[in-house]
A and B are shown apart, each in its own frame.
Chain A
Amino acid sequence: MMNKTIRELTEQYPYINIYLDDFDINFDENRSFEENLKQQPDHFFEQRKMSFKEVLDEFEDYLDKAKAILEESIENVDDITIYPGKGKDGVPEPYEEITVHPGEIIAIVGETGSGKSRLLEDIEWQAEKDTPTGRTVIINGMSKKERRKTSGRQRLIAQLSQNMNFVLDMNVDEFLKMHAECFVSQGEVEVLVKKVYETAISLSGEEFSLNSSITGLSGGQSRALMIADCAYISRAPIVLIDEIENAGIDIQRAMKILVGSEKIVFIATHDPVLALFANKRIVIRNGAVSKIIERNEEEEKALHEAEKLYGRLLYLRNRIRSGEKISQFGGMA
């Protein structure tokens, strides 16, 4: 590694420019770091209070650690289990455990303020009786402390909520490339960006270009882009969604895409179709899980009916959007 030229190093690991830029040196790209360092005057080392060898050793140490991080693979999640705590009134929750596997969608339903977000926070935090609810969340049978030694807990979980917005001054193409570069090699970036972009457009149902500014996207477009990005670029195997407004996006297909990427999805929602679409739904009342309902055949029929109704509403909305005058609702779709 150390005898590679600066060009070879930065082509393989573009991120190390973050470290190299700090030296305020015009590096000769065709030489190694060591050869470049040899060209430096004495005051370069004086300023840093470091010897030639110390600067060199520090760079080697940096390279080793940075390389290890870039090549690190994310832990696969086989299961996540929630163990009971207690509700707002201190009464223990009435279940033994809730175990979820990749490809499953769990809806969290309940009245506003009942504690849906709190459950999502417990999962994000990987609670170990150290949150107000006293719940415990175990991922792959491993406690939070054990996990710190292996990989970062926080990188296992992606979050999407109403309050999250794009804040960068970039267009869609630049933005997706920047994210993809975090995880895949240069050669794979373009294909991945295209896939996310096309998925986002199909989810939002509204065209936008790769040149569109991300902060200028509509609510629906930006949610669609966030979900597609989450499904294909983010490596976090668990996705927590807190009541995103559907803003005209095909939220069911969005969920299918997420679980198709072998993610585990927890979604707090008031949307009846989405709640029925989930494999299981957790009902929260007064801060506690009060019921866990698995979708049975009868509910599947109900889902089917609800989807039809939803389709008709979508159709109606599109007609209204396009300026039609509506004379009747029944029998249109």
Chain B
Amino acid sequence: MRLVTFAGPPAGGKTTVLCKIIKCFKNEGIPVGAVKFDCLQTEDDRIFGAMGIPSKKGLSAELCPDHYFITNIPDVYNWGQKNDLEYLFTESAGLCNRCSPYIRNILSICIIDQLSGINSPQKIGPLLKLADMVLITKGDIVSQAEREVFYRRVQMANPHGEIYFVNGLTGQGIYEICERIKELSSECVLEEQTLRFPMPMALCSYCLGETKIGEEYQIGNVKKIG
């Protein structure tokens, strides 16, 4: 089974694009499953389920979503194998733009929205920079110039990755993405891999549930604005 991780800022069209990709794999008779990682609430697992594929959801709730992802990915991986999947897709929303759920040797795809602003490529950290493929959505409703500027900035943030424009609504561009997923993904033993970028070093008093404000309540790994 091949694991492929999809990530990107909220509301960029991840689920819509992923549904089109799933449909494309399903049409070829390839067994796929999808897991949605989210923070508070999601209905997206039902969207995947309605497509007739094994699906699952994980809500991180009070935990950091990226920590939650990485501590659950082995279980999710086993679940996929038990379901005899050939491809397992995970989807998660990058929230603070500091982290990424990407794992070395596991195909990592970032979905980013052209409407998120011309500066978003430099504001999104490892989520964009360390992806193997970057899919830009909603490019069809802006000018050619805006598309070209956005493309250039994504290139400069991530000169290693393959960059594509896709249309999540019409499915334009999806077929090629599916072909690239097949070519670039591979099977590997999950437990032997490492994260591409470390999770934040946290653990200050607020991680442990502190709610009061003020110097005396700030204990642990604290950084000052200076």
Contacts and interface: CB of A to CB of B under 8 A. Distances in A.
A141 interface: no
Contact of A226 (B143, B151, B165, B201): B143
Nearest to A239: B144
A37 B144 CA distance: 39
A88 interface: no
A48 B198 contact: yes
Contacts of A152: 163
Contact of B146 (A15, A48, A168): A168
B152 A182 contact: yes
Nearest to B136: A154
Interface stretch (B61-69, B84-92, B153-161): B153-161
A66 B176 CA distance: 25
Contact of B140 (A47, A69, A164, A229): A164
A10 B201 CA distance: 30
A144 B164 CA distance: 14
Given A21-B122, A175-B145, A178-B149, A16 B198 contact: no
A18 B121 contact: yes
A69 B159 contact: yes
Interface in A224-256: 226, 229-230, 233-234, 236
Contacts of B164: 154
Interface in A76-92: none
Contact of A179 (B142, B149, B176, B197): B149
* Chain A contact residues, majority secondary structure: helix
* Chain B contact residues, majority secondary structure: helix
Interface residues of A, number: 45
A159 interface: yes
Given A18-B121, A22-B129, A48-B198, A164 B155 contact: no
Nearest to B142: A167
A158 B152 contact: no
Interface string A54-71: 000000001001101100
B23 to A, nearest CB: 15
B28 to A, nearest CB: 13
B159 to A, nearest CB: 4
Contacts of A65: 159-160
Interface residues of B, number: 33
B156 A166 contact: no
A18 B198 contact: no
Contacts of A175: 145
Interface string B157-194: 10110011100000011011000000000000000000
Contacts of A229: 143-145
Nearest to B123: A21
B115 interface: yes
Interface in A155-171: 155, 158-161, 163-168
Nearest to A157: B144
B156 A69 contact: yes
A130 B125 CA distance: 35
12 contacts: A16-B156, A21-B122, A47-B198, A69-B156, A155-B151, A164-B141, A165-B143, A168-B118, A182-B148, A230-B144, A230-B145, A236-B144
Interface of A: 15-19, 21-22, 47-49, 62, 65-66, 68-69, 121, 124-125, 130, 144, 152, 154-155, 158-161, 163-168, 175-176, 178-179, 182, 222, 226, 229-230, 233-234, 236
Given A179-B149, A229-B143, 12 more contacts: A18-B121, A22-B122, A62-B159, A65-B160, A69-B159, A154-B164, A168-B118, A222-B143, A233-B145, A234-B144, A234-B148, A236-B144
